[in-house]
Amino acid sequence: FLSGCTGTEWPTTTTPHPPTAPPTGQLVLRFLVHVLNCVSHQVGLSLNGFIMKFYFCGARQQASSNLMIYMKNLTAADFLLCLSLPLRITHYGSISVNVRKLYCSFGASVLFLNMYASILFMGYIAANRYLKIVHPSRTHILQTLRAAHIISVVTWICLLAPALTSNILFFLNQKPLTSVPWRCFPLYSESVCLVQKIIHSFSAIIFLLVLISLVFFYYSTSHRVFLAQQKQLTSSGSEKLLKSRRNMLVLVSIFCVCFAPYHLIRLPYIFLQTSCSVRQVLYYLKEVATMVSVFNVCLDPLVYFFLCKTVRARVSMKMASIRPNIHHRDKQMENRKKQLESLKTKSETNQ
């Protein structure tokens, strides 16, 4: 979740005061990352703010479910990242060593928490939907509210533990600085680098396990849809299976778009930097992949829309309330145009 730790690092990131400019390619990349992070922050904050308001205000009196618990946790992770994005934006536009330290510790840890909380809770949501398809007439033990609460708490503890460990080591073993680093690597001690490599290895395993599970759930659901169509089951049963397959496809698509590029690049970036040109290419690819993974704060609301009927109903009500206002404004504009035309005709008649 932090910048990779290797024996050598591209580019030469420590710069004397006043700092010299980084390479042109890095400047262009920083500008693009800055712009897209601003867009992700504004869009993600608006969408997740609406979902947070719905879950914790509008849906308070509704009966809770294990699916709702997982979605609340997913929303909380996205909202946390939205709140931390200004620090990431500042990091790419600042030359302050304090901003670097704050981003390379707290900011990057929040990115780690959001990414793997999203990965795990999307996996839980998919497993929940799959169990509902496999056992439509009974509730599996993993579908109970108690199990959902326990799984959510254990997930956050398991994610917070490595993030806090890395941050504690970071602040206990700080290197003395005589210059402002452009990247995080010069700030890290050997112990922090070792912890990060262990964390990234386990994180890659988590990603692969969830990815395999999502693909299996989608394939199994699609197979059931195929069998239902072959047996020509009732339209209602077939329609539910089609809807379940659509929901699985949404989950798999968002998961692969946001997180697959990051994990394809991240491990080679940490372990396989052999030459300067390879390090340079991997650095650019890593930054682009991280930028794409941040965009999941804008795509996750699609999961809520497709999987939660109450969210769809609230959005429909919101759109319905907007339409009359638009129609009313259009009617007012039309009346004003008629009044202006009438006044113009009268003035021409008087002349």
Domain boundaries, the chain: 22-307
Pair 246, 306: CB distance under 8 Å: yes
Tokens of 267: 């491990």
| Rounded to 5°, angle at Cα 100 from 261 and 274 | 50
Quick check: helix, strand or coil at residue 14?
A: strand
- C-alpha 315: how far from chain center: 21
CA distances from 83 to 42, 44, 65, 120 (A): 10, 10, 27, 21
Tokens of 81: 């990242």
Pair 187, 100: CB distance under 8 Å: yes
Quick check: helix, strand or coil at residue 337?
A: helix
Per-residue confidence (pLDDT) for residue 120, from 0 to 100: 94
Per-residue confidence (pLDDT) for residue 206, from 0 to 100: 93
What is the rounded distance in angstroms from the CA atom of residue 120 to the CA atom of residue 159?
10
What is the rounded distance in angstroms from the CA atom of residue 208 to the CA atom of residue 26?
30
Q: Which of 21, 23, 19, 26 minimizes the C-alpha distance to 3?
A: 26
What is the rounded distance in angstroms from the CA atom of residue 343 to the CA atom of residue 276?
75
What is the rounded distance in angstroms from the CA atom of residue 167 to the CA atom of residue 172?
9
What is the rounded distance in angstroms from the CA atom of residue 51 to the CA atom of residue 297?
12
Q: How does pLDDT run along the chain (351 residues), one tens digit per residue? A: 445 454 434 333 444 444 445 566 667 777 787 788 888 888 888 888 888 877 776 555 455 688 888 988 998 888 888 888 888 888 777 777 788 888 888 888 888 888 899 999 999 999 988 888 877 777 777 788 889 999 999 999 999 999 898 888 888 887 666 666 666 767 777 888 888 888 888 998 999 999 999 999 888 888 887 777 677 655 556 677 788 888 888 889 999 999 999 988 887 777 765 566 777 778 788 888 888 888 888 888 888 887 777 777 776 776 666 655 555 565 666 666 666 566 556 555 555
Q: Which of 58, 51, 247, 72 minimizes the C-alpha distance to 148?
A: 72
Q: Which of 308, 299, 244 minimizes the C-alpha distance to 67?
A: 308
Residue 126's Cβ-count burial label (10 Å; 0-12, 13-18, 19+) is buried
The structure tokens 């719905």 sit at 54
What is the rounded distance in angstroms from the CA atom of residue 328 to the CA atom of residue 334?
10
Per-residue confidence (pLDDT) for residue 273, from 0 to 100: 57
Strands (E), the chain: 14-15, 180-181
Pair 251, 125: CB distance under 8 Å: yes
What is the rounded distance in angstroms from the CA atom of residue 342 to the CA atom of residue 304?
51
What is the rounded distance in angstroms from the CA atom of residue 33 to the CA atom of residue 28?
9
Residues, the chain, total? 351
Tokens of 338: 């008629």
One CATH from 3.10.20.30, 1.20.1070.10, 3.30.160.270, 1.10.150.670 for 22-307: 1.20.1070.10
